[in-house]
Each structure stands twice: as C-alpha cells, then as structure tokens.
Structure 1
Amino acid sequence: MTLPRSMRYLAAATICIFVYLFVQISQTPPAKLRLPTGGGSKPGGFHHGQPDRDPLLDLSGEPAGPLRRVQGDNYAPRKADSARINATILSLVRNEELDDMLQSMRDLERTWNHKFNYPWTFFNDKPFTDEFRRRTRDATNAEVRYELVPAEHWDVPSWINPDLYQESVDLLASQGVQYMERQSYHQMCRWNSGMFSEHPALKDVQYYWRVEPKVHFFCDVDYDVFRWMQDHNKTYGFNINLYDSPESVATLWPETTKFLADHPDYVHPDNAREWLEDATRRPEHNRKAHGYSTCHFWSNFEIADLSFWRSNKYREYFNHLDRAGGFFYERWGDAPVHSIALGLFEDKRKIHWFKDIGYQHIPFFNCPNNPQCSGCVAGRFTDGESWLKQEDCRSLWFKYVGMD
C-alpha cells in the first residue's frame, strides 16, 4: 500500500530532525557534560573522573528522613513524659579540666542541648569537687550526673608485666609515639575502649554522645540526634576520620586476625573491611600497621548505641585485646579499637557521618558549608601544619561506604 504524499513528507522531515539532534549531541564537548555526584564503583563513592563538586567541601544539608524537633514543651527540662529517649551526653573528665569542660558545655548547650535538655553524665577516677559540680550544674538546665570510675575498671590489669611495660614505654617513646609515657593515657584508652559501657550508671542508657573538654561546636542543630539514630537504626555516628600512627598499633591487626580465625562467623557480611585494609596514603606514609590502614573514626566525637559495645561479639573481642596487653605495651587507642570492631562486626550502612555537626578538637575540624554554622571556615580540616591535611582519610570511607 502506497502512503499518501503528505505522510511521506512528514516521515522524511521526522528522520531529518532525528539525524540533526543525534549529530548535535555527539559533537557536544566533554567539558560541558556534568558527571553525577553519587556513584563511582561503590554506591555513594567517588567517580574516577572529576566530580562536579568536592564532597569534603559541600557539607550542607541535614540527615534525610523524619526529624524530631521541639514542639511546645516536649523537650522541657525534667519533664516526666518528654520526647527524650534513654540517652546521655557523656564525658570522662578530671577536676582540673573544669574550665575546658565548661567551654565544651557552653558550645553544645548553645548549638543543641538547650533545646533538648539531655542529661550530662560525667565520669572521673577521682571524686568530683564541689566547685566542679556547682559550675557544671550552672552551665545547663538539664540533669547532671557525677559518677566515679570503679578501681577495677581503671587500675592496670594484673596480667600486665611492669618491667615489659616500662621497656615498651621507653622504646616507643623514643620512636615518637605520643603519650606513650603517660600511664593514665593508657588507662583512659582501655576504659574508653571497653570498660565505660559496663559502668552501672549506664545500664539503662542506650545512646550516648561523647564530648571531651576543650572542644568546639559551630552549627545550630535543631533535631534530636538520638531519636534520629533510633529512627534510622544507626549504631554509630562519627565526625572526623583520620590515620593513626602505625607504631602505636603495630600488633593490633595481627591480634585481630587471631581473633577472627577463631570467630569467622562474627564478621558481618556487609562489613567495611576494605576501608580498614586500604593503605592508599601519601608516599611518605604509604605503609600499614601489619595489614591495618590505621584509618579510624576519631572517637573524641562519637554518637553511638551502647548495645553494640555490650554485644557478645564486642565483649569477646575487647577481652581478647585486653589480655594481649596492647593497651599498655603499645598505645592502642579506643579510636582504632572501636573502628576496627565496627568495620568488621557491624553493617556498614549503620554507621553515619554527621556532616552537619560543625566540630573541632585541636587540631582538626569538620566545618560544614551551612548557614546554620558560625565560627569556622567552610571546608577547613586543620589550622595546624600543612602536612596534617594528609591525615584526613574520610575519602577512603566515602570510597568504600559512601557519604551517609
């Protein structure tokens, strides 16, 4: 059947238009094409090409999903039926650090807690002074709790050989391992790694926000971060991600692999082990600690679910490390210990980067590009020596896990 002349003209015109558009698209210069900003070889990771934004600078926005905010008096201080959940702000602090602790309290109260009035829980291996209690109570409208660390949680364990400990201190201090000679620092790292979650004062608490003396918070946060963790089934929230000194954790990964050999079923199928083992670093630090990249969550800021630290997996892992003695013979910090456990035993999707919470612990920053922030320069990572910028390993986390 022969088509009418008008239909043949229309078909020819359509073909011509299609050919013209195809030629124009094929000749578009690559520089005018913008890459999407999420993908890469891993979900949410970097592209191999140049992204159209730098994810370390574009830190605006707030966590997706429902946000619990102040409505009327639902977060009023000491309200019996408030919207608060079983959570606390937690700090291990000494009496002589009072002024530095007040600095941290002022910042967090101003930017967040004056709205939500979550309790503060202070821990000390010595009794708190009356002055410490009075001035910290005056710094908040929320409840304040003062707890003593039990001697059995703080003292050097009986299985630590004092002669070997002193030899190790002398050796690693000569290699420049920071704080190696301070016994109290080793005790603190051990307590923060595995003892704090066993304190009776926290037995009914599920979530905590760790706040240390002399830190800064820069951004107004108007949602309940604890309820957000609960609503989104998150286990751990971090802010800064750094490389550690390989000398300080030389045998941590070998001891971890020993533990895994006995408990292979403890490793979560959707883990972040690649993040723990990828040693992509600047040339002068292109080395691992016997298999561990040393990348870790900087745990002076952490918002976490205590259930993870109380799980059988973590308790057995911590006890294995504790018996190995590395908290004293080396300088295993709670940051790498927490990070390795989370990277191996937890679903990586349950770990969240709180990019919207501006924070500083000298010498590092997390500075969002957000109008709710003041007092820090957007995108700044450090105000210290230029080489410190190379200690940032957030891009490694984004590569394997994403930016959630």
Structure 2
Amino acid sequence: MALPKSMRILGAVTIFIFCYMLLQIYKAPADLQAPSKESASKLQQWDHDPQLDPSGEPPEPLRRVEGDNYEPNNPNSARINATILSLVRNSEIDDLLKSMRDLERTWNHKFNYPWTFFNDEPFTDEFKKRTRAATKAEVRYELVPKEHWAIPSWINMDLFRESVSLLEEQEVQYMSKVSYHQMCRWNSGMFSEHPALANTQYYWRVEPNVHFFCDIDYDVFRWMQDHNKTYGFNINIHDSPESVATLWPETQKFMEDHKDYIHPNNARQWLEDSEKRPENFKKANGYSTCHFWSNFEIGDLSFWRSKKYRDYFDHLDRAGGFFYERWGDAPVHSVALGLFEDKSKIHWFRDIGYQHIPFFNCPNNPKCSGCVTGRFTDGEQWLNREDCRPLWFKYVGMD
C-alpha cells in the first residue's frame, strides 16, 4: 500500500535536513569541532572543578635521587637549606609519628631533609627517642622563647574574656583556649623569627595526625627554588567569618598607609569574592574568607621576614585580633600572600595527596594509594561548599 503523499513529502524533508546537518558538521571550522587535547585541558582547567583535574607532576626541572646524592650523611648532598618543621606538644607524640611515618614513606626517606620540632616546653626523652627512630634524617628539638609565646602586654585581658564569651555564643571553635590564640600568633609571625631558623630558607610545615598518600620522587624544596616560588599550598577553604570579622577592615587600614606594598599581580579578587559565600563576605566585612589551609604549607621564609610582611604582622598584632577574635595563621598568611606577593609565585601542589581531618586532596594519580580520587571531605556533604579552590582557579589559574 502506497504511503500518502503528505507522509512521503515529510519523509523527504526529514532526510534532507539530516543530510544537511551531517554536511555542516563535516564542514564545521576547527573551533566548533571536538577540542584538541590542549584545548580540552584548558576547558577542564576552567571548569572550576578541581576534583575532575587529573594530577601530574609540576614542570621540569625535577631534582631526583641519583646514587648517594641525598644520603643523610653525605657532606656534598644535593639538599638545600630547608627543613620540615612542626610545632608539637610532648603529648602529641603518637599522632606526630603517624605524620612522620607517612611523609618519610612517601617522600623524605629518599631526600633526608632534617626535621625541626618546636615546643613551648622542653621535649621529653621519650619524644626524642621515638622521633629519632622514625627517620634517618637529622632531628632538631627547639624551645619557643617565652617572649614569642607570651600574651603581649597591650592585650586587655578583661576585653579578651568578654570576647571569648561573645564569640563562644557564635560557636567560634577554640575561642576559650589561650594556648590556641598563642599558637595562631606564633605561627603567623613569630616562627620565622626563631633563632633556630635564622639560616634556613625553605620549610615544609607538618602537623600531628595528618596523612600523605602519594609517592613523590622529586626534591620539593629544590623545585620551589628552581621555579622561584614563594609558597605552596594543598587545600584552600573558607574560614569561619565570625573568627575574622575585623581582619579585613584592619587590613584595609594597613593598605591605605602602605599602597606601595600591594603587588601589581596580586590575588585580591580571590580575597574579595562576594558571590560564592555572600554570607561570609558580609560577616567578614568584605573578605571572602578564602585561605590556604596552613597545616600544609611549603614556603620561603624570606617572605615572612620581608619588611612588608613584618610591618603587616606588627599592625595586626597591635590591633589585638589574635586574642579578641580568633585570627588564625591561615587567613593571615593567605591575605598577606594574596596582596603583597606575585600570585604566579604561589603554587598548588596538586600531586601531593594529603589529609587533615576533615578535608582531603586526593589526586587522580597512579602514584597515590589509600584515598579516594577526587574526594574532598570525609565529613558531611555540606562541607564540600567550603572548598575555595574553584575561586583560586577562577582568578589565578592552576599553576
């Protein structure tokens, strides 16, 4: 039975349209076709989803072990002037050893960089014995000077107690722990002034009970030096806005008097983004609360010793926010780096798998084991919104 004329016409039109579309696809210019590998990589980079980004090693040169060039007792070692450092209590020995064993297994057993431990009390013999047994590298034990740890004379303790009461009502963690405030202040501005580090240039900060998941077979410190990097981070998150409510206003006061300190290639947009977490931006008075989570940081001490940073830290210290609020070293370091340093000198170590509860950096890399690729948190799903890396990639890119 013949099809009706109307259906034959409809079928012919459908076939014509299909053939026409095929022709246009084949004739399409290159920029409308599937992207090249390079273009696809760029598209992925700016997708603002760090979980999708496959991790690889940083660009060459990569200094690796060759023969005995990194043996612990080699007087002509390829090691540079750097140390792994940790501010740690005697009571944290078990958790510290977890961190040491992970970093030694994944990296330092090859390169044998010294460990430097700081404490506001003398280390016990047990602490020294057990930490020395965890590494072939040199281990140093240093006491924090009392003047570095003491509450500054200009802090009004009555005002501090009132602030504690107020911010505890706002659920600001650790607000009542004086030692936590002292630790934040020391990590912000005093650690780089310790006499034991006077001749040290680079450091890798490691805290108790953190984990490292990936085999790293190049000298991280020499990579920083070879590529003229100031700071390396791993996790980048939002802070509690209640804990830093006056940090940005005080920073703005400082900038008004030191306009020449602002680097022309800064990351200020990352610090002032108001779209992702508008509630944070409002409560923190113009600060996005994005910061590098400084329980992992690899840095050049020259920056923290520079006049611009010393002046900035002194300004903040006199303002009292380390005690009247809960300014942490993470936002203080991050704001300073975002304003005063060339953002191209700040590097995301995406190839270093890392965990500090509750957050992960777990690369898509066959050299990693023990973590789930792309996983950001082991807590509730709402914690994923704390990830500030997409904003860093948006304004700075993926170094």
Shared topology, TM-score over 0.5? yes
Q: Residue 360 of structure 1 corresponds to which residue in structure 2?
A: 355
Cross-structure match for 1:186: 181
Contact 1:88–1:208 under 8 Å retained in 2: yes
- Structure-1 separation of matches of 2:233 and 2:179: 25
Distance in 2, Cα, partners of 1:334 & 1:25:
57
Residue number among 75, 86, 89 corresponding to 2:70 in the alignment: 75
Instruction: Write the distance in 1 (CA, Å) between the matches of 2:313 and 2:328.
Output: 12
Letter of the 2:346 partner, please give it: I
Distance in 1 (alpha carbons) for counterparts of 2:333 and 2:28: 52
Do 2:106 and 2:212's aligned partners in 1 also have CA atoms closer than 8 Å? yes
Among 195, 206, 212, the residue aligned to 2:207: 212
Q: What residue is the counterpart of 2:116 in the other structure?
A: 121
Structure 2 match to 1:13: none
Conservation of the 8 A alpha-carbon contact between 2:69 and 2:77:
yes
What is the distance in 1 between the residues matched to 2:32 and 2:356? Answer: 40
Give the Cα–Cα distance (whole angstroms) in 2 for the partners of residues 279 and 332 of structure 1. 20
What residue number does 1:222 align with? Answer: 217
Q: Secondary structure at the match of 1:278?
A: coil
Which one of 336, 341, 347 corresponds to residue 346 of structure 1?
341
Q: How far apart are the structure 1 equivalents of 2:101 and 2:74?
A: 22
Q: Residues of 2 paired with 1:145 and 1:369: CA distance?
A: 35
Q: Which amino acid aligns with 1:106?
A: R
- Paired letter, 2:68: D
Supply the AA of the counterpart residue of 2:122: P
> Judging changes above 3 Å, is the alpha-carbon distance between structure 1 residues 128 and 283 closer, same or farther for their aligned structure 2 residues?
same
Q: Aligned to 1:110, which of 99, 105, 110?
A: 105
Tell me, in whole angstroms, the C-alpha distance in 2 between the residues paired with 1:154 and 1:315.
17
SS, match of residue 146 in structure 1: strand
Flag the 1:21–1:271 CA change in 2: closer, same or farther, 3 A. Answer: same
Asked if the contact 1:45–1:400 (Cα under 8 Å) also holds between the matched residues in 2, the reply is no
* 2:392 aligned partner: 397
Structure 1 match to 2:240: 245
**Paired AA for residue 240 in structure 1:** I
Could you list the runs of 5+ residues in structure 1 that have no partner in the other structure?
A: 1-19
2:141 to 136, 146, 157: 146
Q: Hey, what does 2:374 align to over in structure 1?
A: 379
- Paired with 2:179 and 2:50, the residues of 1 have a C-alpha distance of 38
Residue 386 of structure 1 deviates from its aligned partner by 1.1
Contact persistence 1:288–1:294 (CA under 8 A) = no
The answer as to whether partners of 2:148 and 2:190 remain within 8 angstroms in 1 is yes
| Residue of structure 2 equivalent to 1:272 | 267
| 2:34 corresponding residue in structure 1 | 33
Please state how far the C-alpha of 1:24 moved relative to its aligned partner.
4.0
- Give the drift of 1:57: 2.6
Q: Distance in 2 between matches of 1:31 and 1:21?
A: 14
| CA distance in 1: counterparts of 2:363 and 2:320, whole angstroms | 39
Tell me, in whole angstroms, the C-alpha distance in 2 between the residues paired with 1:339 and 1:186. Answer: 18
The structure with the largest helix share of the pair is 2
Q: 2:229 aligns with which of 226, 234, 249?
A: 234
Residue identity in the other structure for 1:367: C
Among 284, 287, 294, the residue aligned to 1:289: 284
Alignment of 1:281-360 (within 5 A): 281=276, 287-360=282-355
CA drift at 1:21: 11
Identity %: 76
**Counterpart amino acid of residue 371 in structure 1:** P
Deviation at 1:26, TM superposition (A): 5.1
Deviation string 1:12-47 (CA, Å, 9 cap, x unpaired) is xxxxxxxx998444569x99634824557xxx962x
Listed one character per residue, the Cα deviations across residues 244-278 of structure 1 (whole Å, up to 9, x for unaligned) are 01100000000000000100000000000000000
User: 1: distance between equivalents of 2:210 and 2:91?
Assistant: 16
For residue 199 of structure 1, report the CA deviation from its aligned partner. 0.1
1:205–1:197: structure 2 CA closer, same or farther, 3 Å change rule? same
Aligned to 1:93: 88
Distance (whole Å) between structure 1 residues aligned to residue 371 and residue 325 of structure 2: 35
- 1:75-126 Cα offsets, whole Å, 9 max, x none, are 0012111000000000000000000000000000000000000000000000
Does the residue aligned with 2:52 lie in a helix, a strand or coil?
coil
Q: Can you list the C-alpha shifts for 1:296-321, whole angstroms capped at 9, x where unaligned?
A: 00000000000000000000000000
Q: Give yes or no for contact 1:86–1:205 (8 Å, CA) kept in 2.
A: yes
Match of 2:255 in 1: 260
1:349 deviates by 0.2
Q: Is 2:200 the partner of 1:200? A: no
Correspondences of 1:10-49 after superposition (within 5 Å):
23-25=24-26, 33-34=34-35, 36-37=39-40, 46=46
Whether contact under 8 Å (1:238, 1:299) holds in the other structure is: yes
> Secondary structure in 2 aligned to 1:160?
coil
Match of 1:62 in 2: 57
Question: What is the RMSD of the two structures over their aligned residues, measured on CA atoms?
Answer: 2.1
SS in 1 for 2:336: helix
Deviates more, 1:279-288 or 1:104-113: 279-288
Question: 187-196 vs 59-68, which deviates more?
Answer: 59-68
SS of corresponding position for 1:56: helix
